[in-house]
């Protein structure tokens, strides 16, 4: 765009206003592109900062929870039902997790959706699976997380089915009910 701007500035007779082939249009387009690149870079920096802050908070919480689990482990027998007052499972219960319920999604950045669900009893981690209409014959794993949410990157504009299953040391639970979603598409630049 900068080269076009220089060319049309040096050769004003070559400009075609009806085709938007002018120095002014090239300048405006260049400035808009520079602003877009700058905005994307700023958003990426903010996203990295927020991710780092979340990871630091997660680490601090995990450390506090580990101390709490040690205190509980020293206090409660392994198969005591009172564990359920403090967590979603009983440590001595080696059965698989219950099914995930309440799966829902919301649009994120272009090409991303945020999937949320209710934590499953005995679930230690979760696998988010997607099936893209017209592309996938079966569900495929797109995220594995410990929290009851995940940011999932998929093909922009795609119609997908999403489901979630909980896992623990005994294996996976049954998949949740499927929910249909449409992945936000990239917006056209005007």
pLDDT at 149: 95
- With beta carbons less than 8 A apart as the criterion, state whether 182 and 159 touch: yes
| pLDDT (tens digit per residue) in 13-52 | 998 989 889 999 999 999 999 999 999 999 999 999 999 9
pLDDT at 188 over 60: no
Res. 161 pLDDT band, cuts 50 70 90 = very high
For the chain, give the number of residues: 190
pLDDT at 65: 83
Q: How many other CB atoms sit within 10 Å of the CB of residue 33?
A: 13
Q: How far apart, in whole angstroms, are the C-alpha atoms of residue 42 and residue 83?
A: 45
Domains of the chain by residue range: 1-75, 94-182
- Cα separation, 145 vs 124, in Å, equals 9
Tokens 């990426």 sit on residue: 44
Instruction: Say what the pLDDT of residue 87 is.
Output: 66
pTM for the complete prediction? 0.53
pLDDT score of 79: 75
pLDDT of 132 reads: 93
49-108 per-position pLDDT tens digit: 999 999 899 889 988 888 887 888 788 887 777 777 776 556 666 688 889 999 999 998
Residue partners of 20: CB distance under 8 A and separation at least 6:
none
CB atoms < 10 A from the CB of 35, how many? Answer: 10
pLDDT (0 to 100) of residue 94: 67
Q: What is the pLDDT of residues 114-148, one digit of tens each?
A: 999 999 988 999 999 999 999 999 999 999 999 99
The sheet with strand 149-153 has its strands ordered as 101-107, 112-118, 149-153
pLDDT of residue 128: 97
CATH superfamily of 94-182: Immunoglobulins (2.60.40.10)
Three-state SS at 60: helix
pLDDT the model gives residue 88: 59
């Amino acid at each position: 765009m900068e080269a076009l701007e220089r060319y049309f500035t040096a050769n004003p007779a070559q400009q075609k206003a009806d085709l938007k082939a002018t120095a002014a249009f090239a300048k405006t387009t260049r400035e808009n592109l520079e602003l877009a690149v700058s905005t994307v870079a700023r958003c990426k920096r903010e996203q990295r900062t927020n991710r780092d802050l979340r990871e630091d908070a997660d680490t601090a919480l995990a450390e506090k929870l580990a101390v709490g689990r040690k205190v509980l482990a020293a206090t409660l027998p392994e198969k005591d039902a009172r564990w359920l007052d403090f967590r979603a499972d009983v440590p001595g219960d080696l059965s698989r997790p219950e099914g995930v319920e309440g799966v829902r999604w919301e649009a994120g950045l272009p090409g991303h959706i945020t999937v949320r669900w209710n934590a499953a009893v005995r679930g230690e981690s979760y696998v988010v699976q997607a099936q893209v209409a017209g592309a996938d014959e079966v569900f495929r794993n797109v995220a594995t997380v410990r929290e009851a949410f995940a940011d999932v990157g998929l093909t922009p504009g795609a119609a997908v089915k999403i489901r979630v299953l909980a896992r623990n040391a005994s294996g996976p639970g049954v998949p949740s009910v499927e929910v249909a979603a449409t992945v936000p598409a990239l917006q056209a630049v005007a």
